[in-house]
Structures are given as C-alpha cells and as structure tokens.
Structure 1
Amino acid sequence: MGLSVLSFNYTQAIKIAKLIKKNFDVKIIFGGVHCILSSKEVIKNEEVDIICIGEGEEVLKELLDKKLNCKGIEGIWYKKDDKVIKNGQRNLIEDLDYLPFPEWDDFDLERYFLISNNHLPIMASRGCPYRCTYCSNHALKKELKGKYVRFRGVDNLMEEIKLRVNQYHKKGMKYLFFYDDTFIMDRDFVLEFCEKFRKNGFHKKLKWNANVRANLVTEEIIRAMKNAGCYEVRMGVEAGNDYIRNSIYKRNMSEKQIFDAIKIIKKYNLQLRLQFIIGAPYENIEMMEESFNMAKKSGADYVLFPVLIPLPSTEMKEICEKENLIEKERFENFQDMFTNPVVKTKFASSNEIKKIINKIRLYQIKKYIYEGFLKGGPFFIWDLLVFLTYYKRKYGLELDHAYRFTINKYNLQKIK
C-alpha cells in the first residue's frame, strides 16, 4: 500500500497506515515531499516499511518488478532486521515526456464530473526556480540530485489533452487545472502551449486555470492564455507589507508589479484568485491588516488567507525555531491551515493572530453572501443548502468549499 504524504496530511497518513496494518498483512510505502524532507522522522513509525526519498515513478515500478525486494533500489529507505537501510539517492527524471500519462480508468470520473465545475488535474512542469522561504521547493532542490526545474514538451502535453478529451469530454469534463508551481516561468513554453492548444481546437471544449507570478505577468502572456481558453489565474502575493513580502518571504516583487499584473489580468476578464500568508515571524497586527487591505483593494474574485506553516527543512522553519515561535502542541496536531495558527510572531501571539483571521473571515462571509445573491439570485440559497446538507456531510468538506458550489459555479456559467 502506497501513500503520498505532505506535511499537511502527515498525521492523517499515519492514522491510515495504522488502520491498514491492523487489518491487513501488507507492506506500507510512504512517498511525497514530507518523506523527502523529514526522512528520519517518517521511517521511525512502526507502520511504515519503506519510504521513497525522491520521485516515485521509477522506484515503484522497480519495487513491483522485484516483488518488494528493496536491495539495490535507489531512492528508498527501508527496514530490515530492525535496522534502517538507506539506499542512495536517485537522479530526478530529466525527460518528463518519458513518463506515461496518468491512468484514470480505475476512478469513476463520470460520477466526479456530475459536479459540473470539477477539474481534471494536469501538470506541464516540475520544480520552481524561486527561493521563497516558506516553500519546500528550495529545500527539495538542495536535497535532490539532478536538474530540478523541468518542462514537458508541448506536443507531449497536447497528446495527453487529446486523450482526455476523447476519454472524458462526453462524460462531462469541461475544465483542466494546471498544478504547476509557476505555469508562466518560461515565456516561450507558454506561448507555444497556447498556440497549439488553440490550433487543436481544445479551447472550444475545455477551459483551464493555472498559477502565475506577478513579476512574470505580461500582456502578451495573459492575452495568449485568454485566447487559448484560460478562464482563471491564481497568484501568490503572500503579504501586503513590502518588508514581510520581500525580506522575510523573499518573494522579490514590488506592490507596483502586483497591481500591474492584476490590471492586465482584469483587462482580459480572467478570474483572479490571490493568496496571503498570515503570521510571518516579524509580522505585527498592523502588517497583517496591510495584507487584508491589499486583498480588498485588489478586487480579486477569491482570496485565501492561510496561516504560516513552517515546513520541514525550509528557511522559514529555521527562523521560527531560532526565534522559538512554534507552538509545539498546535504544530504537531494541526489539520486546518486557515483558522488555527501554529506559530506566534515576535509581535503577536497566536490568539491575536486568530482574532485577525476571524475578522478577515467575517468580512469574507459577508462578501460571499452579498455576491451569492447578486450572481445567483434565489438559486444561491438552494445551492448553498445542497452543499451544507449533502456535499459537506457526505464528503467532509470545509465551509470554504461552499464557494465552488455557488459563486464559482455562477462565474463559470458565464464563460463563453
């Protein structure tokens, strides 16, 4: 049994592993970012037999080919005779076109697409060249061997998209979600992708969204994305205060660049989602208010305000440990990155941070209700009730998901 583990779901992954071990005599392998950056912590768990310390495609194939005989397989640690055997690191896969397309046949996607605004995930690249202190990318780049930032060929992407259209368009697939950290980091790639996406006629059948970075946004790129069927971009701002954004988070972008990017995005009528992180080590309440005010000023369609989570081996984790800011019990048991702070700052307690978060959420709820009635009319109440009484209960969704079942749905219905 294999589980892909992030820091955000590590606690739940251990619980699942315990349940599996209790009921089945199977080997359990953990992979994912958390296993790469917290290898020693993860392998200590008695439920975990093997961990993958890099990309897993080739590792998993070799394990299956060798019937779980771990000897000599690069890229794993495993247990044998009460000892941890540490095999060497495996190079990252440089040619992403070498990989087969993900196999979705075992998933009931026809049922999944009954929710009309559900997206099919896809990736055009791996890695990110930037060094934001709160993000795992700079830590992974130090830990892993080989070229870190890699792109698939555009023709390879077109082949996968064509396959998905043939498989699922008639079953309800309307949207793609590009999970790349920074979809527009290579201008030539983006322009070629948009040209071929449109040339293949995919823009008539599919709409898509992607992550962008403010200092890379140009009118040329956004126009091409819009013409190729992009309906929404997601952009990390992370802090309204320049010192926090650039000196602490190392985002290296000015407020002018952010609002210039927003202006271009709005010019082409793309939906915009922003993110601000609350609770940087040297952030005070006034600085947090700056993020709140910038979010309001931006006019974004949707804004996320996660609390700072110091991820393993990141510069931010080192700062938080050095300044003794991590609240251990909260950090070890956190499950919600939007309401419960796990660190304090030099100038604000976790309870004070929670107050500002509650203030932001109250504003967002009021804005959500107003926009819901404005865009959905009487259907808003019906859609919200369906979400609360069915989807939230059945699938354990958070209240924040209500946006997808109401306003986001209304916005998508207007896209041509």
Structure 2
Amino acid sequence: MISRKIERILLIQPPYDILRIEPKTTQPPLGLAYLAAVLEKDYEVKVLDAVVEGFENEQVIDREFKRYGLHFDDIKREIEKFNPDVVGVSCLFSTQAENSHKVVNLAKEVNPDIITLFGGAHPSALPELVMEDGNIDFVIIGEGEHTTRELLRALETGSGFLALDGLAFRENGSVKVLPKTNYIQHLDGLPFPARHLLLMEKYFKINTPMGTTTRRMPNTCLSTSRGCPANCIFCSIHTVWGRKYRPRPPENVVNEIELLIKEYGVKELQFYDDNLTFDRARAFQIFDEMIKKRLDLLWTTPNGVAIWALDEELLRKMRESGCYKISLGVESGDDYVLHRIIQKPLNLKKVKPIINFCRKLGMGIDAFFVVGFPGETKEQMEKTLRFARSLKVDNLSVTLATPHPGTRLYEICQKENYLRPGFNFKVIRSRRGQIDTPQFTAKEVEKMVSRVNFISRLELVFRSPVAFYERVVKRLFKEPKFFMALAYETIKKMFSLGGR
C-alpha cells in the first residue's frame, strides 16, 4: 500500500434541507468539534459549518422543502481555498444524506486525490449503501475520534486498515466493513471540543438551538456522556455511541462549563445528553458542584432525561443549579405500547407525580410522545393523546413514529412492507407519516397528531401565557413564514378527510 502525506484536513457540516413547516435551527456541531480537537494536535484542521455560515440563505427546493446554509458553489470555493488533503463530511441524519453526498462530490471535483471520509448516524447504519457512492473513500462507523486518527496514520505509513475498528473501505473492488466494537471508555481523555474553530459568536447571535427555547444569551450546548442501554424501537443513537452508558467524570464536566463561562461568557447551557440523569449519583454531583462554584447559569435538557432516575431530591438539586425547564420523553400513555412495542423501561405511574413536583419547583415542562407504531391500534393512540393532554405541560410534542435506518422500527417496516409508497430518506420526518399498517394509515395518524398539537397550543394560551410566549410568539416574530406554513398545514390536515 502506498503511503500518503497528510497535512490539512477540512471537516464539513453540509447545508440542511427541511420541510417548509419546520423551523430553522443551528448549534455547534459537537461531533466535528470533538474530532477536530483530536486531529489538530497533528494536522492543520478547519471546520466549515455550512449551516451557520450561510444561515441567512434560503432556497426553495419544491412545494414541501427548502434548504438553508452556504450554497454548494460557496462550499466548493472554500474547499479550493483551503486545499485539503482530507475532507470529512458529517451526515447525522438520513434526511441530510443527499446534501452530504453532494459535498463529497464537490471535494472530488476540486481534486480527485482528496481523501474523503463520511461519518454520522446515517453512514454508521448503512455503510455498504453509502459506499456505493464512488466518491466516498472511507466510512467512519460510530464515534470517530480514535478511528479517524488511526486511519490517517495508516494512510501516512501505508500499513493497511484491517487492524482498525469501525471502518468501511474498498479492497480489491469490493466493500469491506469492519464493525464498531471498541468505544472510548474514558471520555475525559478526549480534549474539549475545538470551539475555537467554530463561529461561536454567530451561533450566539442567531440563538436558535435545536429542540428548545432560551432565556439568556449567550448560550451553547455540551454533552456529558455517550451511549444508551435502553432498547427503544425508534432510536438509532446506538449506531454512533453504542449501547453501553459511558459518562464523563463530574469534575471534567464542570471544568468544561467553567471554560465556556471564561472563554465565551456563556450564561445558559443545553445538555444534549440522551441520558443526563441516567447515573443519578453522577448527575447529583455535577449539579452540586455547579451550585458550590456559584456558576450562575440557566440550563435545559432538550433531548430529555431518564424519568426513572428522577426523584424529589435530584429535582431540587437540578432546580437549584439553574435548570428552569425539563424535557421528559414519555413516548406513550398505553402500558402495552410503551413496554411491549416501544420497549421503554418506564413506569407510567411515576410520570404525573414527577411533573407535579417540577411544577411545584417552578420548572417548565416539555413532554414528548410518539404514535403510529406497527402493532399499535388507533384506540391505543387515542389513549396516549388523552394521557398526554391530561399532563397539562408547558409544551406538548406529539410526533409520528419515524423509521430511521439503524432502528428496529425501520427493520420491521421493511420486513412487513409497511413503508408508505414513495418512501425515501429525505421524507423521514417526525411530522410526516411513513407507516401504513392493517390497523391504520399514515394519513389517519397525521390527522390525529395535527389535531392534538393544535389543541395543546390553544390550551397553553390560557394555562401558561409565559410558556406560550416563549414557545410560540417569540418564534413567530423570528420566523413568520415558517409559522404561516405550519398553521396552514395543521388546519388542512385537521379538516382533511381521513381514510385508507
């Protein structure tokens, strides 16, 4: 194998395609920032987040979709200017696969000798499919810091790839896949994300983080753990982080928080963990240290917390340390669906007492529910919607079961031929039904979901005007076109005829 000299590495977050009824969001790409922090010790590294750098640019693609971020011509010019030896492209979601492939193609147009890497949840779930694109040289499967570093060393020394872990490549004209088996056990051995390579001031100014609203600026996100031992039918996060829970030590987390305050003046945080409170003792220690150090921060949990780990003592500590809003992934109000279909380890009897205590502490409450699973009946869905409304939370989010590649849901739908006609990766959206079963059609479920989300917003006006202002009014003024499109879509679906 011929060795390659590698000096410059360009990591790219492609522009986003979204439904015209979806809001624009942007936040620092922590995955690329972690990777950059590891690689910059040995190489010159640049991170190009096309989403934030071209956030103002919007392009209507068709009746349903629009794109925002840097234009592809601008991305090509950035590749030419930096003249990289390696281009790594992020593809977090299957919905963004088309744009990620386009960026890889641009890199090869600039210089066919550029080594191209593809990483994220989509290629980790479907490495063989992704490698059908001849412009992709390597797929990084799962978390990428160590695998990418070792791959680059192998390329520089010409030592081959078979000893690596979590990699797809071509060998003798066929695709070779080395599964991900080794995960980073001591996450405090990783440097903090290379935020100095990102346009942090622009993220602060735009202030539209994914999945939440904010109260203070500047604010930003961080992650304190990886991996989830739960086996929920709809979740694909294990394709990247694995199933074992791997937490960072509390002192390491608090050190990063103090750095964010010192370097960027951060006043609010979003913890993007999938399970911030999974290890109760560790979570308690983090919050306790935040209080002892008088960090004076507000914080939220957009991805939700492990409800089964919550109790009154921990919630008090969360509130005291600055948590003003909590997100709870309940998923279903029907025990059979929750435990036998979704397979989420949650006792529904615990939900209302937790919500009532959060309300007593003055914490805002977001609750997430999902309906439309194979094996679920319309009666069970209605039961979930009644339970969801009975909670009277500040933000109720009901979405449709979404068959992401890498999930058991996707496998079941493929096997049973439940995927809606015309299904493709671009249409995998939580607001779009993609599953038709003998019990229901996607159209019927869309109508149910539109109705309950619309009613919950109306109820919020009277129950919690402050929450309504933060969740709806502030965003209305920021993105009026999005709200007009969403209102039209919701009303159309509510009053459309159901049917099979």
| The one of 95, 98, 102 aligned to 2:186 | 95
Match of 2:249 in 1: 153
* Kept after mapping to 1: 8 A contact 2:124/2:239: no
Residue of structure 2 aligned with 1:4, choices 87, 90, 110: 90
**AA paired with 2:385?**
F
1:16-36 CA distance string (max 9 Å, x none): 333444455433211122222
Query: CA separation in 2, counterparts of 1:335 and 1:327?
Result: 11
State the secondary structure of the residue aligned to 1:30.
strand
Where in structure 2 are the equivalents of 1:16-415 lying within 5 Å?
Answer: 16-25=103-112, 26-65=114-153, 71-72=160-161, 73-79=164-170, 82-87=173-178, 89=180, 91-115=182-206, 117=214, 119-137=219-237, 148-169=244-265, 173-202=266-295, 204-209=296-301, 211-338=304-431, 340-367=432-459, 384-388=476-480
Whole-angstrom distance in 2 between the partners of 1:125 and 1:212: 12
Residues 119 and 270 of structure 1: CA distance in aligned 2, closer, same or farther (over 3 Å): same
Q: Deviations over 1:74-100 (max 9, x none)?
A: 332223563324456451110000000
Going from structure 1 to structure 2, the CA distance change for 1:244 and 1:57 (only over 3 Å counts) comes to same
How many Å separate the matches in 1 of 2:111 and 2:285? Answer: 49
Contact 2:277 2:309 in 1 (8 A): yes
Pair 24,70 (structure 1): closer, same or farther in 2 beyond 3 Å? farther
The 10-residue stretch of structure 1 (11-20 or 366-375) with the greater mean CA deviation from structure 2: 366-375
| Shift in Å, 1:398 | 8.6
Q: Any stretches of 5+ residues in structure 2 without a counterpart?
A: 1-86, 208-213, 488-500
Cα RMSD between the aligned structures?
3.0
| Alpha-carbon distance in 1 for matches of 2:468, 2:407 | 43
2:186 counterpart letter in structure 1:
D
Residues 398, 194 of structure 1: alpha-carbon distance in 2 compared, 3 angstrom cutoff: farther
Report the number of matched residues: 384
**CA–CA distance in 1 between the matches of 2:423 and 2:334?**
26
**Offset from partner CA, 1:319-362 (integer Å, 9 cap, x none):** 32343211252244415322x11112331111211221232343
**Other structure's SS at 1:329 match:** coil
Structure 1, 210-219 or 366-375: larger mean CA deviation: 366-375
Q: Aligned pair in 2 of structure 1 residues 372, 229: CA closer, same or farther (>3 Å)?
A: closer
Determine helix, strand or coil for the equivalent of 2:436.
coil
Contact 2:147 2:166 in 1 (8 A): yes
Letter paired with 2:202: R
Distance 1:41 1:301, change over 3 A: same
Partners in 1 of 2:104 and 2:461 — Cα distance?
A: 40
**Aligned 8 A contact 1:10 1:34 in 2:** yes
| CA-CA distance at 1:184 after TM superposition | 0.9
Distance 1:54 1:205, change over 3 A: closer
SS at match of 1:105: helix
Residue type at the aligned position of 2:437: T
**Residues 298 and 324 in structure 2, CA contact (< 8 A), matched pair in contact too:** no
Alignment-derived partner of residue 7 in structure 2: none
Give the Cα–Cα distance (whole angstroms) in 2 for the partners of residues 105 and 282 of structure 1: 48
- Is the contact made by 2:428 and 2:434 (CA closer than 8 Å) also made in structure 1? no
More helix by proportion, 1 or 2? Answer: 1
Task: Please give the TM-score of this superposition, normalised by the length of structure 2.
Answer: 0.69
